[in-house]
Amino acid sequence: MNIQALLSNKISKALIMAGAPIDSDAKIRQSAKSQFGDYQVNGIMAIAKILAIPPRQLAKKVINFIDLKDVTSKIEIVGPGFINIFLNRQWLAMQIDQILIAPKRLGIASVLPQTVVVDYSSPNVAKEMHVGHLRSTIIGDVIVRTLTFLGHNVIRANHIGDWGTQFGMLIAYLEKVQHNNLDDMTLSDLEVFYRAAQKNYDENEEFAQRSRAYVVKLQVGDEQCRKIWRQLVDITMTQNQISYNRLHVTLTKNDIMGESIYNPMLPGIVADLKAQGIAVENTGATMVFFNEHKNKAGKTKAVVIQKKDGGYLYITTDIACVKYRCETLNADRILYYTDSRQHQHLMQTWNIARKAGYIPESVSLEHHMFGMMLDKDGKPLKTRTGGNIKLADFLDEAIKRADKLIREKNLDMPAEELKQLVNTIGIGAVKYADLSKNRTTDYIFNWDNMLTFDGNTAPYMLYAYIRVISIFKRAAIDETSLTMPLVINEDCEAILATRLLQFEETITIVARDGTPHVMCIYLYNLAVLFSSFYEHCPILNATNKQTCHSRLKLALLTAKTLKQGLDTLGIQTVERM
Ligand code: ARG
C-alpha cells in the first residue's frame, strides 16, 4: 500500500477537474505533526498562482472533487491554502488486515520490472580491500536487495580493476625474483609484492620497459602471461569473497565483471569515436574535447582516451563498459556506487557515450556517490602510520568490540550462539552506522556511538525486534490464530498503523534515490512508535478479545516490517540476547 501514491493520484484528478494544468504537482507529503493530519497537500499555492485565482478558492474546489470517501475521515483547508488529510481508522485497519492475509510482500504492489545494473564494491586486483571499499560494497548491496525485493531484474556488476599496466609490472617482478609458483601466495603477500614491483618500475627504466612488453604480451593473449594474470585475480577475489561473506553481502564470484572483459572492445570504440568526429588525434594521443565545458582559465576541458604508446585509459574502459551494459545487458538503469571523487570521471564517460549514441535517452545513468569516513579530527580514516585501514582488520575490530558489549550480558548463552550473536551485532553495527548516514556527505566514524543500545543504532534495532517477537514467544501465540478483524480505537494504534502502511513509500524512495538512510530513519521511527504503543496499550491484558487480537496484529506486522526492512539493509536479526 502506497498511501502517498494513492492520494497523489486522486488529488491530481481533482486538481484537473478544478481547472489545473495536467502536470501540476500537488506535493503530497507526510505531515510532520498530527494536528496537521496524516498527509498534507502543499502544492495548492503554486498552482493557484498559475491559474491566477486565490489559493483557498482553488483548495475548496479541489476538495469538492476529491474522491477519497472511504480513505479519509476529514479533509480541511488551513492557512493560505494547505489541505490537511486525516486517514480513516477503519480504512487503515482494513489495509493492515489485507496485508496480513499474505504478508510475504508486506502489501507492496508489483512493479513494472526493470533491468538494473548495479556497479558496486569494485576493488582492485593484487591489493587488499580497505575501508574505502566498505561504503560502496554495503550501500550498493542495500540497493541490490531493495530492487530485488521490489521485483526488478538486478545485475550485480563487480567492476574490479583487473587490467592495466600494473599487471605487466607484476609479471616482470615475478620473473625477476624467479617466483614462478603463485599457489602459496596470499593477498597480503601480493600487496608487498605489488609495492616492490612498483619501486622497480619507478626506479629502473629497463625493468619498466620489460613490464610494458609484458602488458603487450598479456594483451595479445600470451598463454603464460594469461595464466599468471588469472592466478593474481583468483588470489585476490578468493580473499575478497571472505570479506563479502563476513559482511553478509550478496556478491559472489559470478558477479565479477572486471575491466578486462571490455579490453577487446577498446580499439573499435576509439576508431568509432574518431569516425564520428567526437575524438581527435592530438600530439600523438587520441583525445575528446568537451567544447561545452571550460575550466577556470577559459580553456576547453579534454580527456585522453588513447595514449601515444597505444595504451588505453580508465575512461576508455568505462565508455566500453557502459555501452556493453546498455546494448548487451539491456539495462534500463545503470547505477554506480563510487565515492564523489569519481564524479567528474563518470560525467565525462557518460557525456561521450551519449554523444556517440551508445546510450539511448530512455536509459538512466546514475552516480550514487558518497562521502568519506573521517576520524574524530575530521581527517580521512587511516592507520596510525598513515596507511589505509584494511577491511579485514577493521571487521576484526568490530567483532572484538561487540564481544565486549555483549558477552557479559549473555554469560549463560551457549558458546556457538554467543559467537553468532557477537558477529551479527559487530557487523550489523558497522553497516548500520554507515547506512544510517546520508550517503552524500562525509561522516565521522565512531565505535562508541555505533555500539550502544540508545538511538538509531544496530543494537537498538535488533533489540527492538526481539522485544516485539518475544510477545508472541512468551504467550505462545501462533500468528494464524489471529482471526478477528482489526479495530483501531486508540491514537497510538492509529499512528502505528499509519507508519506500518508507509513501508512501501519508504522502500520506493530508497529504490529511486539509492538512499539507505531513508529506510534506517523509517525503521527507527517505527521501533520508537511501537515502544510508545506498547507502553500505552496493554496487549495480552487488553479488555476484550478483539482488542487483544488487533494489537497482536499490529505487533505482528511491526515484527515483519522490522525484519524485512533490516533484511533490505543487509542486517541480520537475532531471536534473543
Ligand atoms: N576500481 C575502482 C576503484 O577502486 C572503482 C570502479 C568503479 N566502477 C567503474 N565502472 N568505474 O576506485
Q: What is the pLDDT of residues 50-61, one digit of tens each?
A: 999 999 999 999
Secondary structure (3-state) at 237:
helix
Mutate to test the pocket of ligand 1, among 156, 342, 349 (most ligand atoms within 8 A of CB): 342
Mutate to test the pocket of ligand 1, among 338, 344, 365 (most ligand atoms within 8 A of CB): 338
Cα distance between residue 95 and residue 89, in whole Å: 10
Instruction: List Cβ neighbours of 166 (8 Å cut-off, separation of 6 or more).
Output: 126, 194, 197, 198
Which ranges constitute the DSSP H helices of 18-54?
Answer: 44-51
Mean pLDDT of the chain: 94
Nearest partner of 383 among 187, 189, 161, 132, judged by Cα: 132
Give the pLDDT confidence score for residue 90 in this predicted structure.
97
* Residue 186 CA: distances (Å) to CA of 173, 226, 231, 391: 16, 19, 11, 15
pLDDT band at 295 (very low <50, low <70, confident <90, very high): confident
Give residue 234's identity as a one-letter amino acid code: D
Residue 294 has pLDDT above 80, yes or no: no
| Ligand 1 pocket member 159 (CB < 6 A) | yes
Q: What is the DSSP letter of 296?
A: T
Query: Exposure pattern of 183-210 as b/e (b: 16+ CB <10 Å)?
Result: eebebeebeebbeebeebbeeeeebbeb
Nearest partner of 98 among 90, 478, 567, judged by Cα: 90
Averaged pLDDT, 259-273: 96
Rounded to the nearest angstrom, the distance between the alpha carbon of 327 and the centre of ligand 1 is 21
| Ligand 1 pocket member 119 (CB < 6 A) | yes
pLDDT band at 456 (very low <50, low <70, confident <90, very high): very high
* Per-domain boundaries in the chain: 3-87, 165-255, 393-568
| Ligand 1 pocket member 546 (CB < 6 A) | no
Beta strands in 64-223 (DSSP E): 72-78, 82-87, 115-119, 153-157
Atom nearest to 321 CA in ligand 1: 10
* Residues 135, 440 contacting (CB under 8 angstroms): no
Secondary structure (3-state) at 377:
coil
| Ligand 1 pocket member 516 (CB < 6 A) | no
* Residues 246, 427 contacting (CB under 8 angstroms): yes
Give the pLDDT confidence score for residue 544 in this predicted structure.
93
Residue 180 has pLDDT above 70, yes or no: no
Give residue 488's identity as a one-letter amino acid code: I
| Ligand 1 pocket member 43 (CB < 6 A) | no
Phi, psi of 108, rounded to the nearest 5 degrees = -80, 130
Q: What is the pLDDT of residues 555-564, one digit of tens each?
A: 999 999 999 9
Phi, psi of 460, rounded to the nearest 5 degrees = -60, -45
* Residues 83, 39 contacting (CB under 8 angstroms): no
Segment of 143-157, 158-172, 190-204 carrying the highest mean pLDDT: 143-157
Rounded to the nearest angstrom, the distance between the alpha carbon of 102 and the centre of ligand 1 is 41
- 85 beta partners: 39, 75
Mutate to test the pocket of ligand 1, among 133, 139, 159, 260 (most ligand atoms within 8 A of CB): 159
Better-scored residue on pLDDT, 215 or 515: 515
Give the pLDDT confidence score for residue 510 in this predicted structure.
98
Give the pLDDT confidence score for residue 566 in this predicted structure.
98
- 336-340, 373-377, 384-388, 492-496: least confident range: 384-388
Q: Whose CA is nearest to atom 6 of ligand 1?
A: 122
| Ligand 1 pocket member 162 (CB < 6 A) | no
* Residues 71, 6 contacting (CB under 8 angstroms): yes
Averaged pLDDT, 289-312: 86
| Ligand 1 pocket member 338 (CB < 6 A) | yes
| Ligand 1 pocket member 140 (CB < 6 A) | no
Rounded to the nearest angstrom, the distance between the alpha carbon of 201 and the centre of ligand 1 is 23
* Residues 262, 317 contacting (CB under 8 angstroms): yes
Q: Which CATH superfamily is domain 393-568 in?
A: Isoleucyl-tRNA Synthetase; Domain 1 (1.10.730.10)
Give the pLDDT confidence score for residue 296 in this predicted structure.
77
Q: Whose CA is nearest to atom 4 of ligand 1?
A: 123
| Ligand 1 pocket member 564 (CB < 6 A) | no
Domains 3-87 and 393-568 share a fold: no
| Ligand 1 pocket member 161 (CB < 6 A) | yes
pLDDT band at 187 (very low <50, low <70, confident <90, very high): confident
Atom nearest to 160 CA in ligand 1: 1
Cα distance between residue 361 and residue 140, in whole Å: 24
* Residues 186, 239 contacting (CB under 8 angstroms): yes
| Ligand 1 pocket member 152 (CB < 6 A) | no
Architecture of domain 3-87: 2-Layer Sandwich (3.30)
Rounded to the nearest angstrom, the distance between the alpha carbon of 545 and the centre of ligand 1 is 58
Cα distance between residue 417 and residue 464, in whole Å: 19
Rounded to the nearest angstrom, the distance between the alpha carbon of 2 and the centre of ligand 1 is 36
Q: What is the pLDDT of residues 415-452, one digit of tens each?
A: 999 999 999 999 999 999 999 999 999 999 999 999 99
